[in-house]
Amino acid sequence: MKKELKVQLDGILENQGLARAVAAAYASQADPTVEELTEIKTAVSEAFSNAAIHGYKGEGGPVKMEFGFTSADTLMIKVIDKGTGIENIAVAMEPLFTTDTGPERSGMGFTVMESFMDKLKVDSKPGEGTTVTMIKKLDTYYEL
């Protein structure tokens, strides 16, 4: 991994905007298209809000974000929380699935991450937390 960046934010929803701003600033180094940048921001926004809402149940806790390039045009982002973890990852990743029956959750977070990034991997253990790893290859067709 090249040009690594590690940051830690408190896992509260107030930091959601900051989390995606950090992601956008980091990704900008590779000269992404506007569309790619939006996709990266959205995916990170989803992963971070999952950590805040489901991982830490709105009470906050450390959310680490790790950024790096696995090659010149391939970005890898990890969003790591030490919250409640996910019991059944496959079910959690299904579109429209949500455990939060209260305030209008769509259950589309993982679906959005999956469609906006090239690869999505979720590692989780109940009681230990969740690590979301996302990989995105940026378009480089304009390079000579």
Partner 1 sequence: MEIIFTVTESTLVAELLGELDHHAAEGTREKIDKAMDNYKVSGLIMDFKKVSFMDSSGIGMILGRYRKLGEKGLKIAISGCSPSVRNILNMAGVFSIIDYYQDREEAVREMNRKEVS
- Catalog residues that contact partner 1 under the rule CB under 8 A: 13-14, 16-17, 20, 35, 38-39, 41-42, 45-46, 49, 52-53, 95-96, 103-106, 108-109, 111-112, 115
Provide, rounded to whole angstroms, the least separation between the CB of residue 71 and partner 1: 26
Nearer to partner 1, 96 or 144 (CB): 96
5 CB contacts (<8 Å, ≥6 apart)?
Answer: 26, 66, 67, 68
Of the candidates 122, 120, 62, 61, the one whose C-alpha atom is nearest the C-alpha of residue 86 is 122
Q: Which helix (H) or strand (E) is 112 found in, with range?
A: helix 109-116
Provide, rounded to whole angstroms, the least separation between the CB of residue 53 and partner 1: 7
Taken in order 103, 49, 60, 17, the sign of the CA dihedral is: negative
Token duo for residue 20: 């995606």
Provide, rounded to whole angstroms, the least separation between the CB of residue 127 and partner 1: 24
Provide, rounded to whole angstroms, the least separation between the CB of residue 22 and partner 1: 14
Nearer to partner 1, 95 or 126 (CB): 95
DSSP string computed for 28-61:
GGG---HHHHHHHHHHHHHHHHHIIIIISTTS--
Nearer to partner 1, 68 or 107 (CB): 107
Strand order from edge to edge, sheet including 62-71: 2-10, 62-71, 74-81, 129-137, 119-125
Q: Could you list the active site residues?
A: 46, 50, 105
Nearer to partner 1, 67 or 116 (CB): 116
